[in-house]
């Protein structure tokens, strides 16, 4: 199995469609997963029809890689530089026909923002009813560096006000809109207005329940937080790269390590993953 190189809205991308069914499409800009179609032919990721594909702007939708900074928690551009950098596709591995991988290494542009040598690798593995996304960060230097990170997925939903995101009850929660820390008491969060909260990663998988199929969402222990975000109608209407009602079709349930930065020693590697399975 080899990748199919393609032009996606004017930008280079690769598509993998293994024999087991389904497909994934990944843009070289940002190393960003744009589409996951499961074996039943259902698109499971939201990609804004108004997303900008100019090779410079972050793409609205799919799974942006937020690294080496989450949001505006530091001196770098929002969500770091990885989602706006040009990644390289690894040669296809005959032993892994279900996986496509892209890499990003430090260069003059990244060192101007963040003076460290690094190698980032994003591997996307497809099964008929599941998707596995893994991010690995290597520090090839001798000095340590620190970072925060998130796999900022936009999950496609039928109608966000009607979905049930199960499994967060009892988790520690920071509501960033109210700057409020509390234990989540609700059985499921309510969506319909802007929602932006960081949860301590639950011990058990989450379930996103809706008519088009339940998704089980699991993340690696190295991801100590789960970020849940939906812009709601007011903020959503301000985006010039998403339709005014686009907020209704998406929900971010992100695997993240952001509250305490990762300290990566010289020669070290950090790995994180998120698994999405259709039940």
Report, as residue numbers or ranges, the catalytic residues. Answer: 152, 254
For the stretch 253-272, what's the b/e string if a residue is b when 16 or more beta carbons lie within 10 angstroms of its beta carbon? bbbbbbeebbebeeeeebeb
Please spell the DSSP secondary structure of 143-169, one letter per residue.
Answer: S-EEEEEEE---EE-S-GGG-EEES-T
- What is the C-alpha to C-alpha distance for residues 267 and 263, in angstroms, rounded to an integer? 12
Choose among 271, 277, 44, 60: nearest CA to 149: 271
Residue 198 contacts residue 173 (beta carbons within 8 Å): yes
Determine the Cα–Cα distance for residues 198 and 78; give it in Å rounded to an integer: 17
**What is the C-alpha separation between 153 and 45, in angstroms, rounded?**
8
Residue 102's SS3 state is: strand
Per-residue CA distances from 145 to 36, 141, 213, 272 (Å): 33, 9, 41, 17
């Amino acid at each position: 199995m080899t990748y199919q190189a393609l032009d996606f809205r004017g930008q280079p991308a690769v598509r993998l469609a293994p024999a087991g069914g389904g497909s994934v499409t990944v843009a070289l800009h940002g190393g960003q997963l744009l589409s996951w179609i499961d074996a039943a032919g259902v698109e499971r990721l939201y990609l804004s029809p108004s997303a900008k594909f100019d090779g410079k702007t972050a793409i609205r939708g799919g799974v942006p890689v937020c690294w080496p900074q989450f949001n505006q928690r530091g001196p770098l551009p929002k969500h770091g530089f990885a989602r706006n950098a040009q990644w390289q596709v690894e040669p296809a591995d005959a032993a892994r026909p279900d996986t496509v991988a892209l890499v990003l290494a430090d260069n003059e542009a990244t060192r101007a923002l963040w003076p460290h040598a690094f190698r980032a690798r994003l591997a996307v593995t497809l099964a008929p009813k599941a998707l596995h996304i893994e991010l690995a960060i290597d520090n090839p230097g001798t000095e340590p560096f620190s970072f925060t990170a998130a796999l900022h997925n936009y999950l496609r939903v039928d109608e966000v006000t009607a979905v049930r995101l199960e499994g967060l009850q009892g988790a520690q929660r920071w509501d960033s809109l109210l700057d409020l820390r509390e234990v989540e008491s609700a059985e499921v969060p309510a969506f319909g207005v802007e929602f932006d909260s960081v949860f301590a990663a639950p011990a058990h998988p989450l379930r996103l329940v809706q008519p088009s199929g339940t998704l089980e969402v699991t993340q690696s222990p190295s991801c100590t937080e789960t970020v849940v975000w939906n812009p709601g109608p007011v903020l959503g209407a301000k985006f010039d790269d998403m339709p005014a009602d686009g907020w209704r079709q998406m929900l971010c349930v992100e695997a993240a390590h952001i509250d305490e930065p990762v300290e990566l020693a010289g020669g070290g590697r950090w790995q994180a993953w998120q698994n999405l399975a259709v039940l």
